[in-house]
Amino acid sequence: MHKTIIITGGSQGLGFQAAKLLAKDKQTGIVIANRNKENTSKAVEQIKAETANQNVLGFPLDLGDFNSIKQFVVDFQNLNLPPLFALVNNAGVQYISKTRFTKQGYEQTFGVNHLGHFLLTHLLLSHLSENGKIINTASGVHKPELKTPIPVPVYKTAEKLAYCGADDGQKDAKELRHQGQVRYSTSKLCNVLFTYKLAKKLSKQQGPIQVLAFDPGMMPGTGLANDYPAFIRFVWKNVLPLQTLFGNRINTPKQSAKVLVDWVLNRKTDKTTAYFYVGGEEKSSRESYDKELQDDLWSFSEKQIETWLKNA
């Protein structure tokens, strides 16, 4: 092996399809990081069988638990694999039935989609090769101008996102759905804010590492709708996939994975950071360039992981 790539959420959907494409190069080691051990093992064996690349590994990673994140990095270090060429922060959750919390007490959408990846990235920075890449899977739902079915982000402070209370008993199903969707779109805005701020930090500290944000488009059929009612899950899995035939904002995981892998393997831009989708590079939302929001998110997140970076 000559390089290693880590993909979070790599047992299904976009992450799995990207891992499979990347594994076609038998000299590349693929590390699938995923919460469900059984699904991870199945994904690893399937990729090995289809690509004949035996350098595919799976490790448990619960992004909602800082202890699990730290243990994952310890396990990765102990393997003494080739340099880490790319970290693909792909895993994500969306909950619309009730408020859930991480092991450390953060609202789970924010905790998993942003804060868990924030800690993981920091713990792995020293392992990245000089020309390496960090790619955060964001979403077009963070852009109000796209007018997606998901409500637009509401970012006040990172602290409010992290510690929003569970007052679910006072809300009906419609209110809970709206609440969960806003939390999701806001977490995707956080992914882009983090991307830009990290790129700026690294440009002063650590060589030509690229930090990119990727909008894979809506991908019907993936597990993102698992918390929705049965009828919506049926439409998501059986009806909406037909829309992938039209345009590049609704895609199959395979379609989006091809674009993601192209950006992982190739220097598509000379910039230290960029936002791209299936159609190519584009501007992210106006709010994502707000330096005050970037600073607020970074400052809060940095304080939350201080203890966990010790002795790393």
**What's the rounded mean pLDDT across residues 170-183?**
87
- pLDDT at position 165 is 73
Cα–Cα dist 128/130, whole Å: 6
In sequence order, the β-bridge partners of residue 128 are: 84
The DSSP call for residue 74 is H
Token pair of 83, please?
């340099």
Q: Confidence band (pLDDT; 50, 70, 90) for 96?
A: confident
Q: How confident is the model at residue 49 (pLDDT cuts 50, 70, 90)?
A: very high
Higher model confidence: residue 140 or residue 227? 140
pLDDT at 43 over 60: yes
Q: Give the per-residue pLDDT at 76.
A: 95
CATH architecture of residue range(s) 3-306? 3-Layer(aba) Sandwich (3.40)
Average pLDDT, the chain: 89
In our burial notation (b when 16+ CB lie closer than 10 A, e otherwise), range 85-104 reads bbbbbbbbbbbbeebbebeb
Could you read off the pLDDT of 191-227 as tens digits, one per residue? 999 999 999 999 876 568 999 999 998 765 555 555 5
Cα dihedral 253, 256, 259, 261, rounded to 10, equals: -30
Which of 95, 106, 155, 184 is the catalytic position? 184
Mean pLDDT of 289-297: 98
With a cut of 70, say whether residue 158 has pLDDT above it. yes
What pLDDT is attached to residue 116? 98
Q: Which amino acid is at 210?
A: Q
Query: Residue 135: beta bridge partners?
Result: 88, 212
Report which secondary-structure segment, H or E, holds 46. helix 37-51
Residue 190's H or E segment, with its range, is helix 173-205
| Between 18 and 247, residue with greater pLDDT | 18
**% of the chain exceeding 90 in pLDDT:** 73
User: What's the pTM?
Assistant: 0.92
The H or E element that residue 277 is part of is strand 273-277
**Hey, where are the domains in the chain?**
3-306
Q: Which pLDDT band, with edges at 50, 70 and 90, does 234 fall under? A: very low
* Closest CA relative to residue 153, chosen from 145, 141, 165, 163: 141
**Over residues 13-18, mean pLDDT:** 95
- Residue 9 pLDDT exceeds 90: yes
95 noted as active-site residue? no
Query: In the predicted model, is pLDDT for residue 235 greater than 50?
Result: no
Q: For residue 60, what are the β-bridge partners?
A: 34
Q: Across residues 63-89, what is the average pLDDT?
A: 96
Between the alpha carbon of residue 107 and those of residues 43, 66, 189, the distances in Å are: 29, 14, 16
| Cα–Cα distance for residue pair 37/53, rounded to 1 Å | 20
User: Is 185's pLDDT higher than 60?
Assistant: yes
The single-letter code of the amino acid at 278 is V
Residue of higher predicted confidence among 57 and 267: 57
